[in-house]
């Protein structure tokens, strides 16, 4: 078995580059790291291009034998612990990572939207990777399979987003919109109404029926942009009893989506 020990190896260099968004976009691929994430990628039949294994970790039985049997079915590359730490994104690597194709199928905006779902979540310039990963996880938890993201939204395939999505990144299709406003106009043509979160004169979220709606979650600091506000069919807000005026974007998304779940009786 050949074990790579040089940073100059072409595969090592290409994996290292995937830490940067421009290379993830160029290669249409991203990195998932750790035993749980790689195992879930295999179980979800994600399109795995290659699996990188730390030779020392494999010898020490850090990676479960049953997982190693599954990993062996893929194109594998063994590297030294020094090289693995060089390409790893975490402080204490578990010794296994995979290069996975993006779950967007080379999307073309509105042409890839599934209009058979009751509700579509659209993200307008969400910036925090933790928020973004949590929103993907929440979208997955309520049985939805897609999310629209504006060009200004943080990269859904950023390692921090991937980790915080807890595997949802494999199941939720990310539809990247060149111009979210234009995409939403197209969605409206397909008999969906646009809902935006707003602190102003808005309906209580519990007064809204969540069927054929596209829910727009705005930027953490500035909310939904004005152009999108102007085409909204309804503005909604979460009622609060305390003195806090607004909630974290991911928390707000969860509250609204679980009102949708309550109304559907899916519990």
pLDDT tens figures, 38-75: 999 999 999 999 999 998 875 667 788 899 999 999 99
Per residue in 66-89, pLDDT (tens digit) is 999 999 999 999 999 999 999 998
Q: How confident is the model at residue 113 (pLDDT cuts 50, 70, 90)?
A: very high
Domain positions in the chain are 3-101, 109-264
Cα dihedral 23/180/174/123 (nearest 10): 110
Per residue in 134-176, pLDDT (tens digit) is 999 999 999 999 999 999 999 999 999 999 999 999 999 999 9
pLDDT of residue 106: 44
Per residue in 170-208, pLDDT (tens digit) is 999 999 999 999 999 999 999 999 999 887 777 899 999
CB 1 within 8 A of CB 80: no
Q: Is the pLDDT of residue 108 over 70?
A: no
Distant-in-sequence contacts of 219-222, Cβ < 8 A, 24+ apart = 219/124, 219/125, 219/126, 219/127, 219/152, 219/249, 220/126, 220/127, 220/128, 220/131, 220/248, 220/249, 221/127, 222/125
CATH H superfamily, domain 109-264: SPOUT methyltransferase, trefoil knot domain (3.40.1280.10)
Q: What is the mean pLDDT of the chain?
A: 91
- Domain 3-101, architecture per CATH: 2-Layer Sandwich (3.30)
The rounded percent of the chain whose pLDDT value lies above 90 is 78
């Amino acid at each position: 078995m050949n074990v790579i020990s040089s940073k100059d190896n072409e595969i090592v260099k290409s994996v290292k580059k995937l830490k940067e968004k421009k290379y993830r976009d160029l290669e249409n691929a991203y990195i998932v790291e750790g035993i749980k994430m790689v195992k879930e990628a295999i179980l979800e039949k994600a399109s795995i291009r290659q699996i990188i294994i730390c030779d020392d970790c494999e010898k020490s039985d850090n990676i479960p034998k049953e997982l190693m049997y599954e990993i062996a079915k893929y194109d594998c590359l063994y590297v030294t612990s020094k090289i693995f730490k060089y390409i790893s994104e975490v402080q204490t690597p578990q010794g296994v990572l995979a290069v996975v194709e993006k779950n967007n199928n080379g999307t073309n905006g509105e042409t890839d939207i599934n209009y058979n779902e009751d509700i579509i979540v659209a993200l307008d310039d969400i910036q925090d990777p933790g928020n973004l990963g949590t929103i993907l996880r929440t979208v997955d938890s309520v049985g939805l399979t897609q999310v629209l993201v504006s060009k200004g939204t943080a990269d859904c395939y950023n390692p921090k987003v991937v980790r915080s999505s807890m595997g949802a990144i494999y199941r939720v299709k990310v539809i990247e919109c060149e111009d979210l406003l234009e995409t939403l106009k197209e969605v409206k043509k397909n008999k969906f109404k646009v809902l935006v979160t707003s602190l102003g004169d808005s309906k209580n979220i519990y007064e809204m029926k969540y069927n054929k709606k596209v829910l727009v979650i705005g930027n953490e600091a500035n909310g939904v942009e004005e152009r999108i506000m102007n085409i909204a069919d309804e503005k909604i807000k979460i009622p609060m009893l305390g003195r806090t005026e607004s909630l974290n974007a991911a928390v707000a998304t969860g509250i609204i989506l679980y009102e949708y779940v309550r109304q559907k009786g899916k519990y």
